[in-house]
Amino acid sequence: MLLNAQDCAALDQTTSALADFAAWRSAFAPGPEGTLYFDANSIGPMPVDAPARMQHVLDAGWRQARRRGWSELDWLQQPASLGAAIAPLLGADAADVRVCDTTSINQYKLLCFALSRAAPRRVIVLEQDVFPSNRYVAEGIAKSGLAELRFIRHADELPAALAGQDVAVVALSHVDYRTSARHDMAALTRLAHDHGALALWDLSHSAGAVAIELKAAQADLAVGCGYKYLCGGPGAPAYLYVNAQLQGAHWPALAGWMGHADTFAFEPGYRPAPGPDRFLVGTPAVLANVAFSAAADIWRRVSPAALDARHRSLTDTLIQLLDEQCSPLGISLASPRSHAQRGGHVALQFDGAAPLSQAMVARGVVVSSRKPDALRFGVHPLTTTHADLWRAVQILRDLLDSGDWRDPRFNGPVI
């Protein structure tokens, strides 16, 4: 039988693997009444207490403590404490994750670290259509003469790319930012190791939505952003993971004072700190970290397995609704149907994805698009309900059926 509104409402009552889902949802501030948000793959919802935390650090920290904040408050401990909070979501030990810098900067640091450790190997393997910034970072490293790049189009081309025994590191996105196709992290990491290479994973489109097992997969290195499903706020600090077996092997690519073994000794020469602290560079972004802490305190209490189960129920339901109501209207699924092969968002293929997404926003359903033809629903497992999905698909179907999305006002540029 076809799903209906009552079915979706019932799913919210009976299938939540997260105990007291309503309490988790209430931990985040709602948007304008009637607006549905499916853009957690771009910017996740705001924790309800983030503004109060920001105001507190402005008053008690910046205005009153000022320089004393470095010794009297937790500012210097933030990279480690925030990393420990999100580590379970990554399937990592708390000691191996640090929140710092941006995804691109962390990508640079860990690519260079991998090249240093694997010398004289100097080849970086990455996907041809990876998120552009990841490719740009690698191209910059290659341009400086430190590495050579080797591109693959699909994971099945990886064995051939590794055959020459010259690969230092395989750098892959766990989830494709357009289609939401998810790689088998354990299998591809094992393949890289079998050929003497390290594996570096970008978790930006999976962390906080689906299950990740960095330690179980024996991943070497990982990076990711903090502002998508992790809800750290616009431009939130990113994070990095370094396998414990690699942490003391070499100097970091960027040797900054926060990565020194004795930060406030102000020695003339650099000594790398033990563990992943050596990958810290400059002064922690205190204000941004405080905003991130509002989300981190939520993540400390969330079961990763329950989160994954909730996300599976939501996205499987969304796909069924789309199949039943929208596939006859020219829209098709671009994401894998299997949850195990899918990341945080559900992607659809439609020739008019960009104007259609703007038309949906105008109708109160916030989605996103990516060139050339991807329409993306970023489903957040802590805030989205099955009933929300029903309403969103009804609006999508109406726009497709009526053709209202063709209105010229929806043809402007959009991010």
Number of domains in the chain: 2
DSSP 329-378: GT-EE-S-SSGGGB-SEEEEE-TTHHHHHHHHHHTTEE-EEETTTEEEEE
| Structural domain contains residue 280 | yes
What are the backbone angles phi and psi of residue 99, rounded to the nearest 5°? -95, 120
Amino acid 289 reads N
What is the separation of C-alpha 350 from the centre of its chain, rounded to a whole number of angstroms?
24
Domain limit, last residue, from 246, 267, 299: 299
Residues known to be catalytic: 131, 202, 227-228, 376
Identify which of 45, 111, 71 has the alpha carbon closest to the alpha carbon of residue 291.
45
Cβ neighbours of residue 153 closer than 8 Å, sequence gap 6 or more: 127, 128, 129
Shared domain for 338 and 283, answered yes or no, is no
Identify which of 325, 377, 286 has the alpha carbon closest to the alpha carbon of residue 76.
286
- Which tens digits make up the pLDDT trace of 321-344? 999 999 999 999 999 999 999 999
Cβ neighbours of residue 152 closer than 8 Å, sequence gap 6 or more: 125, 126, 127, 128, 158, 161
> Residue 16's pLDDT is what?
61
Q: Give start and end residues of each alpha helix (H) in 214-285.
A: none
**H/E element, 240:** strand 239-242
Average pLDDT along the chain? 96
Shared domain for 184 and 160, answered yes or no, is yes
Identify which of 298, 296, 231 has the alpha carbon closest to the alpha carbon of residue 82.
296
> Residue 237's pLDDT is what?
98
| Structural domain contains residue 68 | no
Shared domain for 255 and 183, answered yes or no, is yes
- Which tens digits make up the pLDDT trace of 27-71? 999 999 999 999 999 999 999 999 999 999 999 999 999 999 999
Predicted TM-score (pTM) of the model is 0.97
Pairing state of beta strands 148-152 and 332-333? unpaired
Average pLDDT of the residues in 356-381: 97
Q: Residue 65, Cβ neighbours under 10 Å: how many? A: 16
> Residue 17's pLDDT is what?
59
Domain limit, last residue, from 299, 322, 356: 299
pLDDT at 138 over 80: yes
Owning domain of residue 318: 5-48+304-410
- Which tens digits make up the pLDDT trace of 227-284? 999 999 999 999 999 999 999 878 999 999 999 999 999 999 999 999 999 999 999 9
pLDDT at 350 over 90: yes
pLDDT at 21 over 90: no
pLDDT at 19 over 90: no
> Residue 62's pLDDT is what?
97
Distance CA 170, CA 151 (A): 10
Distance CA 232, CA 240 (A): 15
**How much of the chain, in percent, has pLDDT values that exceed 70?**
99
Shared domain for 194 and 309, answered yes or no, is no
CA angle 95, 101, 105 (to 5 degrees): 105
| Structural domain contains residue 347 | yes
CATH of the domain at 182: 3.40.640.10
Distance CA 308, CA 315 (A): 11
Classified as helix, coil or strand, 199 is strand
Domain limit, last residue, from 234, 266, 299: 299
Predicted confidence band of residue 15 (pLDDT cuts 50, 70, 90): low
Shared domain for 317 and 371, answered yes or no, is yes
| Structural domain contains residue 69 | no
> Residue 248's pLDDT is what?
84
| Structural domain contains residue 415 | no
User: What share of residues in the chain are helix, strand, coil (percent, to 5)?
Assistant: 45, 15, 40
Shared domain for 258 and 335, answered yes or no, is no
Shared domain for 310 and 370, answered yes or no, is yes
